[in-house]
């Protein structure tokens, strides 16, 4: 999705208020709205259907237990859920035994009747993929290692054999390019 959608944001906030009052149907609406994207992020990072499903269920269980943790002043609910999925997936990945890195193939799964939201998410995913493809190989590799594998700049430098300063510059330059390309 590009930009902010006040109607969607208010709707999400209203659903969070309903969850806080114990309305399970509100959780179902949010699950239908965001589960596909949350699952997609976890699956892309973990490359494991079962583990991605566990992350998905854990995130929505946490949302049910602690909906008050969401602060709309800090960003959109969808972004918050996706960041949680990314962070939990990376944590799980780090607990795994080290192995050969597999190529990451982005996919977006959608569920529920919110076709407009799904279409916007797919459009954004396409834009991000194109922007990543446009980066020089070294910048793209550094971004993928940082975002999808959760490596620190020092870990990226160690894995690639590049100096830490070079890795930092590549990441900073790649982020600036992506920001300019995506307009965010």
Per-residue DSSP letters for 20-88? HTT-HHHHHHHHHHHHHHHHHHHHHHH--HHHHHHHHHHHHHHHHHTGGG--GGG--HHHHHHHHHHHH
Q: Which sequence spans correspond to the domains of the chain?
A: 1-96, 113-184
Average pLDDT of the residues in 149-163: 89
Burial of 68 (0-12, 13-18, 19+ CB in 10 A): exposed
- Rounded to an integer, what distance in angstroms lies between the CA atom of residue 113 and that of residue 160? 43
Determine whether 22 is exposed, middle or buried from the number of CB atoms within 10 Å of its CB (0-12, 13-18, 19+).
exposed
Nearest to 34 by CA among 3, 59, 62, 54: 59
User: Residue 113 — very low, low, confident or very high, per pLDDT cuts 50/70/90?
Assistant: very low
Domain 113-184 has CATH 1.10.10.10: yes
State residue 55's pLDDT score.
95
Q: How do residues 26-80 score in pLDDT, each as one tens digit?
A: 999 999 999 999 999 899 888 899 999 999 999 999 999 999 998 888 888 888 8
Asked: is 1-96 a CATH 1.10.3720.10 domain? The reply is no
The pLDDT value recorded for residue 125 is 67
Phi/psi class of residue 105: alpha, beta or left (left: φ > 0; alpha: ψ in -120 to 50)?
A: beta
In whole angstroms, what is the distance from residue 64 CA to residue 58 CA? 10
| Dist. CA 175–CA 163, nearest whole Å | 19
* Beta carbons of 58 and 130 less than 8 angstroms apart: no
Which range (86-90, 95-99, 118-122) has the least confidence?
118-122
């Amino acid at each position: 999705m590009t930009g902010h959608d006040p109607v969607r944001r208010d709707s999400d906030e209203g659903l969070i208020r309903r969850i806080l009052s114990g309305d399970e149907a509100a959780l179902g609406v949010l699950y239908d709205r965001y589960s596909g994207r949350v699952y997609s992020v976890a699956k892309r990072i973990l490359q494991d259907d079962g583990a991605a499903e566990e992350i998905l269920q854990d995130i929505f269980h946490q949302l049910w237990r602690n909906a008050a943790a969401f602060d709309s002043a800090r960003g959109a609910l969808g972004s918050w859920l996706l960041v949680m999925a990314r962070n939990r997936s990376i944590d799980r990945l780090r607990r795994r035994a080290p192995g050969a890195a597999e190529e990451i193939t982005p996919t977006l799964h959608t569920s529920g009747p919110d076709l407009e939201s799904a279409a916007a998410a797919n459009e954004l995913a396409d834009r991000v993929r194109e922007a990543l493809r446009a980066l020089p190989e070294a910048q793209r590799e550094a971004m993928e290692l940082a975002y999808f594998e959760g490596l620190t700049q020092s870990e990226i430098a160690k894995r690639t054999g590049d100096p830490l300063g070079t890795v930092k510059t590549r990441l900073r330059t790649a982020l600036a390019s992506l920001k300019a390309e995506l307009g965010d």
